[in-house]
Amino acid sequence: GFKMGIVGLPNVGKSTLFNALTRTAAAQAANFPFCTIEPNVGEVAVPDARLDQLAGIAQSKQIIPTRMTFVDIAGLVKGASKGEGLGNQFLANIREVDAIAHVLRCFEDGDVTHVEGRVDPVSDAETIETELMLADLESLEKRLQNNVRKVRGGDKEAVQQQRLMEAAKAVLEDGKPARVVDVDEDDLKAWKLLQLLTSKPVLFVCNVGEAEAAEGNAHSAKVAEMAAAQGNSHVIISAQIEEEISQLERDEAVMFLEEMGLAEAGLDRLIRAGYELLHLETYFTVGPKEARAWTVPGGTTAPKAAGVIHGDFEKGFIRAETISFHDFVSLGGEAGAKEAGKMRAEGKSYIVKDGDVLHFLFNT
Ligand code: GDP
């Protein structure tokens, strides 16, 4: 599965957000730095109105959304790259995630301590980014040294790694994150293996006060500006509202959102933004038993997509009977689509499209 790490300075609302996301009390929110000591891992259903629509048409007994994993990563502080606070644990956890949701405190509340004694999300973002860049630099220096012998011996992989590490080091020394390096298609795999913290895609989460959830505030506006300048995206959320919503029944939640002037829950936007950040897409399998959503990276071939369901589906792949979401809905389901000639038999080289309704045929 795909993993988003939730990071941020202590007391910015990470645990509150994580609680809301996973509707558990597992990640305890408290007005106390280092409250989340163990990484908390939660699986979250990815909201998708299309799945309900498909299930309605096919009268599926069960609806199974696709899932995404969120990891609440213990508080990073200034100096973490030198092993202060929970730094080392933090760094180990963050290496494992695919992308980063960076929570920034954009709410004013005198009762909640800010580690730096003032609310300044742009400066907070820089603090964390700096720690991550320093950690990357340090690990690169070590690895470059360890690599010297192999490079001299002409080891091809080591030479490639060397080249990529030098490129990363150069931008980091220039005060920029590793994600600004332009990586060739051929180098992508080796680049990912470097597991640089600042090469992971990042999404800024502006945690604003309850009254500001719809429009944001002056702090979140500054974050938006910063994010745009970096080519990163941001979402505005009130973690406290989200936590309240997460405890409501569905109907109540809809009413509550309307009262607050919100079109949809912030968490839905956050999860979707994470999906986009990772270039993920959804395909569906639909039948009377269940309607189910599956996640694949954009550009996935039909056999690989089948492999997400089961390895045997990929190994014995014959073809994928394919109906686009639009055709499935407008033609009233599989039978209607088939009659209209809108069910395609797609082979091994077919690139699955977001929203495809697929039925795999395979040899056992
Ligand atoms: P973490 O250390 O980043 O995980 O922060 P927590 O989620 O534990 O939140 C720290 C404190 O800030 C808790 O007392 C929360 O109730 C409070 N808090 C979180 N989000 C908000 C918010 O949007 N507004 C206000 N006023 N307080 C918040």
Query: Mean pLDDT over all residues of the chain?
Result: 89
Q: Where a domain ends, among 277, 311, 340?
A: 277
Does ligand 1 lie within 6 Å of residue 209's CB atom?
yes
Do 251 and 314 lie in one domain? The reply is: no
Q: What is the pLDDT of residues 92-109, one digit of tens each?
A: 788 889 999 999 999 988
Please give the number of the atom of ligand 1 that sits closest to the Cα of 75. Answer: 2
Lowest mean pLDDT, pick from 28-42, 59-73, 314-328: 28-42
Residue type, 143: R
Are 253 and 46 contacting, i.e. CB atoms less than 8 angstroms apart?
Answer: no
Higher pLDDT, 340 or 247: 340
Do 206 and 313 lie in one domain? The reply is: no
Token code pair at residue 113 = 């301590």
> CA-CA distances (angstroms) from residue 34 to 10, 61, 85, 208, 337?
6, 44, 8, 21, 55
Average of per-residue pLDDT across 139-164: 93
The Å distance, Cα 29 to ligand 1 centre, comes to 7
Burial letters 11-43, b for 16+ CB under 10 A, else e: bbbbbbbbbbbbeeeebebeeebebbeebbbbe
pLDDT, position 37: 40
pLDDT, position 85: 46
Please give the number of the atom of ligand 1 that sits closest to the Cα of 8. Answer: 3
Specify the CATH number for the domain of residue 353.
3.10.20.30
Integer Cα distance of 52 and 69 in angstroms: 21
Do 269 and 305 lie in one domain? The reply is: no
Residue 184 has pLDDT above 90, yes or no: yes
Integer Cα distance of 192 and 199 in angstroms: 8
Mind giving me the DSSP string for 33-99? TT---SPEEEEEE---HHHHHHHHHHT-SEEE--EEEEEEPPPP-TTGGGT-TTHHHHHHHHHT-SE
The Å distance, Cα 61 to ligand 1 centre, comes to 39
pTM: 0.87
Residue 303 has pLDDT above 90, yes or no: yes
The Å distance, Cα 31 to ligand 1 centre, comes to 7
Does ligand 1 lie within 6 Å of residue 238's CB atom?
yes
Nearest to residue 278, comparing CAs of 128, 101, 130, 94? 101
Residue 33 has pLDDT above 60, yes or no: no
Mutation test residue for ligand 1: of 16, 18, 206, the one with most atoms within 8 Å of CB:
16
Do 239 and 139 lie in one domain? The reply is: yes
Structural domain including 50 reads: 3-277
52 occurs within a structural domain: yes
Lowest mean pLDDT, pick from 114-123, 145-154, 155-164: 114-123
The Å distance, Cα 115 to ligand 1 centre, comes to 12
Mutation test residue for ligand 1: of 6, 7, 11, the one with most atoms within 8 Å of CB:
11
292 occurs within a structural domain: no
Are 317 and 305 contacting, i.e. CB atoms less than 8 angstroms apart?
Answer: no
Chain-centroid distance of CA 181 in Å reads 21
Does ligand 1 lie within 6 Å of residue 198's CB atom?
no
Is 207 a known ligand-binding residue? no
286 occurs within a structural domain: no
123 occurs within a structural domain: yes
Higher pLDDT, 129 or 87: 129
Does ligand 1 lie within 6 Å of residue 207's CB atom?
yes
- Residue 174 per-residue DSSP state: T
Average of per-residue pLDDT across 245-274: 86
Integer Cα distance of 138 and 81 in angstroms: 9
Does ligand 1 lie within 6 Å of residue 38's CB atom?
no
Q: How many domains does the chain have?
A: 2
pLDDT, position 75: 58
